[in-house]
Structure 1
Amino acid sequence: MDAETPCPDSMIEWFRLDRSPDSDVLAIVFSHVSEPPGRFSFYASFRDVPVNKLFVNTPGNGWYRDGVPGLGNDIDSTAEGLRIMMQQVAPRTVVCIGNSMGAYAALLFGELINADRVLAIGPETLLDQPGSRSRGFLAGRPLSPYPDLLPVLSRPAADRRTSIIIGESDLFDLDYARRVAHLPGIRLRSLRGVGHEVPAMLHRFGVWRPLIRDFARDGSLPAFLPLEGRIFEAGDAADALIEARRLRLAGDRRAARGRLGHCLALYPDADAAHDEIGVIEREEGAFAKAEAAHRLALRLAPDRGQYGLHLALALEAQGRFGEALAAYDQASALEPGNRFLARSREEARRRLQDGTPAAWGTPGFFRP
């Protein structure tokens, strides 16, 4: 999308205030990971949104733990710096918006500065968990003073309205949203067959800019989003799916199968559940069944490179090396910026061209 669009030459490196004199709304937009100094996530998207806008970035992909230079050197002093900026604008309404790492910040600072409404897309509500995005950046570094947003978001929030949008295919995002779903003032929206890159998908359907414009202006969201999912409305389907993954990782495949079956009985569109079944089949050596499950997951979520990788692994295990290489290529093409998928493709290509396919029965062989 437009996350890499630079501000004009007069920009401040880590925050920038764009005034709109006729508006009584201040939208604070928090950047996601890997934005360099002087650039801000969604700057171009908000260019024509007629509200006051404060764009914020943070060094080092530290989940805002070290603050924002010029506003504060830690989270609490940054919150005070944001309040000072708010005094300059004197808005009637304050809105916090962010994606991924920026969504964590939108939720956290939304509470700390008492924002009126928050839009958080794919937030982590519990940092530094094994396999999580924040673990990749925060491992070995001092923890944030706010590693868990559940106590923060549980504080009385008056009339604050918080909307969280996630892709149902990303089980981390599903779990992080699920754990705060019961809190007053929080509304969850989910998208079928979509992973972590929700803004890119909404942009593809032409609804991203209208969505953030309307939310910044009056807090409204579309009554129905493209690929709108219903997993949070399907009984305990989300709980069953998350529990199934936990059980599989703990080695209890039988119990995991039971929970996946329960999830799919309630919500057949749960592509991640079909993919999990495929992983279990591969772990048990039933590679043809694994192939069928991964193909079904891909039909439900055709843009998921991870599912394509899993299909490739199942094909390779059956000795269908030409098909496997094609599947590896397709998986990498689905997410061209995903270095893990690109590396997996190259490793598979070397492995198969050398005539040494993966030893699927060998303990410790990689089974994602």
Structure 2
Amino acid sequence: MTAIIKPPLADKLTAPGATKKNSSKSEISGNNFLLIPNPSSTKLVLLFSGTYKSGGRFDFWNVAQALKTSANVLLLNNGKNQWYQQGIPDFGKTLADSIAHIQKLAKELRATEIYTVGVSMGGFGAALFGSGLNAKVLAFGIDSLVCIPGSRSLKSMHPSTAIDIPDLKPLLISRKLNFTLIVGEMDILDLYGAARLVGIPGIKTISVRGMDHGGGRYIDKTKGLASYIKHFIHNEALPALNEEGQALDSPKLVERLYEAHCFGIDAKWDQSLEILDPLVKSYPMSDIAHYSLALTLIKLKKYKEARDHLNFVASMTPDFISGRFYLAYCLRMEKQYKAALHLFFDQLKEKPESAPTLFNIGSILVSMDKLNEALPFIKKAVEIQPNKKAYSQKLESLTKNKVSL
């Protein structure tokens, strides 16, 4: 059944900047929102996009299409990467303005249950708005404290941002939300962000082994993201995740991993090693400890030692593609070319547009004196990442040697 929006609601939302979409009379939108009403539902689901979405572009598009038959759906983006600190640009100039606007919208839609969902920056937005709207929150991989060393918010937040709420922790302690946070154990920043919130009443934290920052992708692949979120908005138990981990049970582990990570940011690899080597001995079954140690050893050019830890990671979390990438890289650096090629080609099936994988394949073929075979891989790597100096230099070298297809 196609929902037809009532004129009073359409009038309020189309001024200013909002436009009705030609594809459906039920949808109205602006640069930073798209509303799909469902008059038969009392549920309103807010889907918060992550970074670099503007001009009517949104994450969770397929999820929205699956949810619209059972809920009112509001897709949101932040325009500039302001971590939703100033709210939604189409809905006022402040967070308070935007929350008031959505409260008014919910009343117009006769929605009595509000749910917020987001990944990364969108997850931060889901928590911010969820606290103001007394909503039920589902988030994946967030900076619970923004702009700390190495964080995505520090790297990507727009300079215009006025950071009024740098830390979600005090907010969540005071509001006691129904908040589920899912993070990957192979992303130390997400793990650290979640560890800070463990034990706060109302918050359920789940860490997943072998998963990195792509929580939404992982859920979609293993459970179906739309199906998973449907359980969430129908207040049903969320499906169990097969790779649910235990890293968040060890706050000291997470704290020390983040400390080592910070040394790595400053290229202080020896100091990082001093933390990680004993940490692996204390937590021998921690995939992220082995992986972090391996990356540090690679920086120190200790490839065989790194490979031993990456073998453990690959066996315990075989779907973690970055672990297999660095295992292949170590084999390449040890001149185990055939074994390295096997792994890299296997990864190329999963990520055919991965410039690092293409470049490594090309480099191995160069080392094996298969220059003509190497050239298309190097060329494609340069096409994908034209600003990567090592890639363009390798291509230039091959071209000077008059290698041809």
Instruction: Report the TM-score when normalising by structure 2.
Output: 0.73
More off after superposition, 84-93 vs 134-143: 134-143
- Which residue among 326, 341, 353 is the counterpart of 2:366? 353
Contact 1:95 1:216 in 2 (8 A): yes
AA matched with 2:72:
N
Aligned to 1:287: 303
More off after superposition, 243-252 vs 172-181: 243-252
Aligned to 2:168: 149
Contact 1:51 1:217 in 2 (8 A): no
Q: In 2, Cα distance between the equivalents of 1:221 and 1:210?
A: 10
- C-alpha displacement at 1:174, in angstroms? 0.5
Aligned to 2:293: 277
Change (3 A) 1:35 1:142: closer
Contact 1:303 1:334 in 2 (8 A): no
Q: Aligned pair 1:24/2:42, yes or no?
A: yes
SS at match of 1:16: strand
Q: Percent identity?
A: 25
SS at match of 2:210: coil
Using CA pairs below 8 Å that are at least 6 residues apart, which structure has the higher relative contact order? 1
SS at match of 1:164: strand
Q: Aligned pair 1:170/2:187, yes or no?
A: yes
- C-alpha displacement at 1:305, in angstroms? 3.4
Q: Aligned pair 1:106/2:122, yes or no?
A: no
RMSD: 3.1
SS at match of 1:84: helix
| 1:201-350 paired onto structure 2 within 5 Å | 201-218=218-235, 220-222=237-239, 224-233=240-249, 236-246=252-262, 250=268, 251-252=270-271, 253-264=273-284, 268=285, 270-331=286-347, 334-336=350-352, 342-343=355-356, 345-346=358-359, 349-350=362-363
Q: In 2, Cα distance between the equivalents of 1:355 and 1:101?
A: 44
Aligned to 2:148: 129
Q: In 2, Cα distance between the equivalents of 1:70 and 1:55?
A: 12
- C-alpha displacement at 1:273, in angstroms? 1.5
Contact 2:81 2:158 in 1 (8 A): no
Q: Aligned pair 1:64/2:84, yes or no?
A: yes
AA matched with 2:113:
T
Contact 1:240 1:263 in 2 (8 A): no
- C-alpha displacement at 1:328, in angstroms? 4.6
Change (3 A) 1:156 1:63: closer
Q: Which has the higher helix share?
A: 2
Contact 2:119 2:140 in 1 (8 A): yes
SS at match of 1:62: coil
- C-alpha displacement at 1:108, in angstroms? 1.1
More off after superposition, 225-234 vs 22-31: 225-234
Q: Aligned pair 1:43/2:61, yes or no?
A: yes
- C-alpha displacement at 1:207, in angstroms? 3.8
Q: In 2, Cα distance between the equivalents of 1:32 and 1:139?
A: 13
| Unaligned stretches of 5+ residues in structure 2 | 1-20, 370-389, 391-405
- C-alpha displacement at 1:44, in angstroms? 2.5
- C-alpha displacement at 1:246, in angstroms? 4.5
AA matched with 1:195:
D
Contact 1:304 1:334 in 2 (8 A): no
Contact 1:101 1:123 in 2 (8 A): yes
Q: In 2, Cα distance between the equivalents of 1:124 and 1:336?
A: 30
- Which residue among 199, 224, 239 is the counterpart of 1:182? 199
- C-alpha displacement at 1:322, in angstroms? 4.8
Change (3 A) 1:206 1:313: closer
Q: In 1, Cα distance between the equivalents of 2:208 and 2:237?
A: 18
Q: In 2, Cα distance between the equivalents of 1:194 and 1:47?
A: 26
- Which residue among 105, 111, 114 is the counterpart of 1:94? 114
Q: In 1, Cα distance between the equivalents of 2:348 and 2:22?
A: 32
Provide Cα deviations, 1:48-76, integer angstroms capped at 9, x if missing partner: 43122222112133322453232123433
Contact 1:247 1:256 in 2 (8 A): no
Instruction: Report the TM-score when normalising by structure 1.
Output: 0.80
The number of residues matched between the two structures is 341
